[in-house]
Amino acid sequence: MPVLLDSTYHCGPMQIAPKLITWYEANKRDLPWRHTREPYAVWLSEVILQQTRVDQGMAYYLKFLQLFPTVFDLAAASEDAVLKAWQGLGYYSRARNLHATAKLVVTEYGGQFPQTAAELKSLKGIGEYTAAAIASFCYGENIPVMDGNVLRVAARLTAMGEPIDKPTGRGHVMAFLWEWIPSENPDTFNQAIMEFGALQCTPRNPGCSECVFSSECEARRQGSVDRLPFKQGKTAVSHVWMYYAVITCGDQWLVRRRSHSGIWKGLYDFPSADVAEPAEVDEILSGYLTGLVRQAAFQLLDVSEEFKHVLSHRVVHARFMRINVQEVFEVPDDMRWVTRENLRELGVSRLVDRYLQQLLES
């Protein structure tokens, strides 16, 4: 049940900002992107950290800066190189948008990022949060940021009962943030409230007993901390079964570049039959695979155990059928033959990478 919003309650700026910033200066983590106001580096960190833990994203951030030190380097890189560098982070549309935006910044803006959140939002892959973060952290624009940590902190401080996954709830949070943010140092405030949500006002087991807002927090007063923030509903999870044909001919491997839309667009994998329910391997071989290899003689070597891969709204159940053919055959435009050495250089999904690691190491 949602917690009723007490519309008469407001955390004024004198109650929130000073305490929050003091807490931040004493407790903030030493993160590399906090030591720069260079828009390219800040933008890179924000895109990488979307739906990614800081400890995981750190290595990718440093790797990207090493491979692509400037926006010009990223723009000049091939999509394959960018996707390979991104491999393992998931949500590959972020990498494709990152690459497209780098090209746009170079060609349309001469390599200089726009300086306002309103202008930044016109760039591909930059939404409300990322635009506000870059504009605030790099250019000092007085604009609040609102990510998952901020939504949680605001919802608990105000005991806000509207769902944060709906426009009404997010609108209420933004109104509170505009009330709290100090015009003299909005960047520090924004960093502070995000860090507070990440370290202190955590989703589970928040540190309420030692919280600097123990006297102001309305959720603590009402005993509703563990029920906030409130979300109205989640998207149903679907399942798909994928049967990959790992076809080899000597040192040649048949790979496919996923050109259709989807989270793995632009990555490489193997030809596959995707079905809505489990199927017998023999059915796949007699249907999809026979049509692919046509007259080429093939031999089924083995079939892997199931590899389960959980995405945000989909669960993939994958099995890999290792197949040997006597000679290479003509393939569609989205497929090609590569050597084993070339295979290691291609950007693949985490699911395929897990299988390849197991196969190639054995």
Active site residues: 46
Tokens of 195: 């860090």
DSSP 210-223: G-TTTTT-HHHHHT
- The secondary element (H helix, E strand) that includes residue 303 is strand 298-303
Which distant-in-sequence residues (6+ apart) come within 8 Å of 10 by Cβ? 158, 176, 179
Enter the tokens of residue 248: 């080899």
CA distances from 50 to 28, 148, 296 (A): 19, 10, 45
Report the distance separating Cα 291 and Cα 249, nearest Å: 18
Backbone phi and psi for residue 237, each to the nearest 5 degrees, phi listed first: -90, 130
Burial of 236 (0-12, 13-18, 19+ CB in 10 A): exposed
Axis-axis angle for helices 79-86, 54-67 (nearest 10)? 150
d(CA 160, CA 213): 16
What is the distance between the alpha carbons of residues 27 and 199, in angstroms, rounded to a whole number?
A: 9
- Residues ≥6 apart with Cβ < 8 Å to 319: 241, 242, 243, 244, 281, 303, 304, 305, 306, 307
184 vs 331: CA distance, rounded Å:
62
- Rounded distance between C-alpha atoms, residue 51 and residue 74, angstroms: 22
Strands 314-325, 238-249: parallel, antiparallel or unpaired by DSSP? parallel
CA 196 to chain centre: 21
| 319 φ/ψ angles, rounded to the nearest 5 degrees | -130, 145
